[in-house]
Homo-oligomer: A and B are copies of this chain.
Amino acid sequence: MKIESLGVKTFRHKTNTVRDSDGHGHPGPESDSTSAVLTITTDTGDTGHILTRPSDLAEPILDRFVRPNLIGQDPLCTDKLWYKVYKWQRLSGGLLNDRVLAAVNLALWDLKGKATGQPVWKLLGGHRDKILAYGSTMCGDDLENGLATPGDYARFADWLINTRGYKAMKLHGWMPPVPGAPDPRMDYQACAAVREAVGPDVPLMLDPHHFYSRTDTLWLANKLAELDFRWMEEPMEEASISSYKWLTQNTALNILGPETMTGKHWTRAEWVKHDACDLVRAGVWDVGGIDPAMKIANMAESFHMSCEMHGTGAANLTVACAIANTSFYERGLLHPFIDYDKPKEYQNRIDDEMDADGYVHARPDPGLGQDLNWDYIEANLV
């Protein structure tokens, strides 16, 4: 079996998320957006797909750095092909970023699952066929009855836990340009209101502003420990591993990371070796795909550490169900104004349907378990 082509289809669809001046998503009026599907096709007619942002699949980058390394190769040799493309990163001047590596690797794994007739979570180890989700909110905002006040977060938490069935929840705090942010005291007030709303037994986490100082971070961490929060993520720029080592030494709160720091499994190994985190973060889109995510999970397991997948979607769900050492699937981002359970126009179903008990089920379908509406995509090509 040999790879014959890598093709991209970019298509229009509606969105009800708007980006603020700092890039955070919030609910907004319906507007136009575009997404893209990467398709890898073999000489035997097997295919693998992955849905992503059009910016991850720029034709000049695929042409120069990806296609020459993949065409004619055996698509099942996923890690070999990951290295072939990865090695061009040094020479690409930053064009070939980890999201491109991820898109290619995920499409290959989708193909590998389909070619073998198996869901990828089973190929990778098959540790569980369902996993509890935590409801992961959007960042705070200044929308009336949105996520503008501690009371808003508390009301939404009550709905997530007591109505929708989530068994755990993570807040994203207020970030600039929301008035008053960043402020660790605002973050704490929202967390305290949520703890009050859901009671003492529900696992809670916080992903706050990412550029706090050490002192603000430590104050917030200790306050969250008092609230029995499960973990906090990325309160400081992650390039400073020393600051995270200092933080984990000085607070009882669990620190999860690194999330957005570049360097794939190699960076995460350094954080583990230097005790800079209590739980290890891996997201397939952050670390360049399923192969590096599995390396991170396996490395973390060798040190008795949990590996918590970052972000939603079929591929993160796949890894979370494959491995032993994880606790939750991140589901969202959620907001009172958004119906997360409704498929997008380009989906026949969402990747991560959740039952009334708060479990997202691993898909039995071969591949990664995406179910795209190809008629819609073909009819709305850019």
Contact = CB atoms under 8 A, between A and B. Distances in A.
A79 interface: yes
Given A295-B301, A302-B296, A126 B76 contact: yes
Nearest to A291: B125
A324 B87 CA distance: 13
A322 B291 CA distance: 12
A77 interface: yes
A148 B317 CA distance: 58
A274 to B, nearest CB: 9
Q: Which of A74, A83, A124, A322 has the most CB of B within 10 A?
A: A124
Contacts of A304: 266
Contact of A125 (B80, B122, B301, B302): B80
B302 A266 contact: yes
A86 to B, nearest CB: 10
Q: Is the interface of A mostly helix, strand, loop or mixed?
A: helix
Contacts of A76: 118, 122-123, 126
Contacts of A78: 125-126
A128 interface: yes
Interface residues of A, number: 37
Given A76-B118, A118-B76, A265 B126 contact: no
B125 A77 contact: yes
A79 B126 contact: yes
A50 to B, nearest CB: 18
Interface in A252-289: 265-266, 268-269, 272-273
Contacts of A116: 116-118, 123
A368 to B, nearest CB: 16
A363 to B, nearest CB: 14
Interface in A163-209: none
B303 A269 contact: yes
Contact of A295 (B79, B123, B302): B302
Nearest to A305: B269
A298 interface: yes
Contacts of A83: 127, 324
Contacts of A123: 76, 112, 116, 123
Shortest beta-carbon contacts, A-B, top 4: A77-B126, A79-B125, A269-B302, A116-B116
Given A112-B123, A266-B303, 18 more contacts: A74-B122, A77-B122, A78-B125, A79-B125, A79-B322, A79-B323, A80-B125, A80-B126, A83-B324, A265-B301, A265-B302, A266-B302, A266-B304, A269-B303, A294-B298, A295-B299, A295-B302, A299-B299
21 contacts: A74-B126, A76-B123, A77-B125, A78-B125, A79-B124, A79-B125, A79-B323, A80-B125, A80-B127, A80-B128, A83-B127, A112-B123, A125-B291, A265-B298, A266-B303, A266-B304, A272-B273, A294-B298, A295-B301, A295-B302, A298-B299
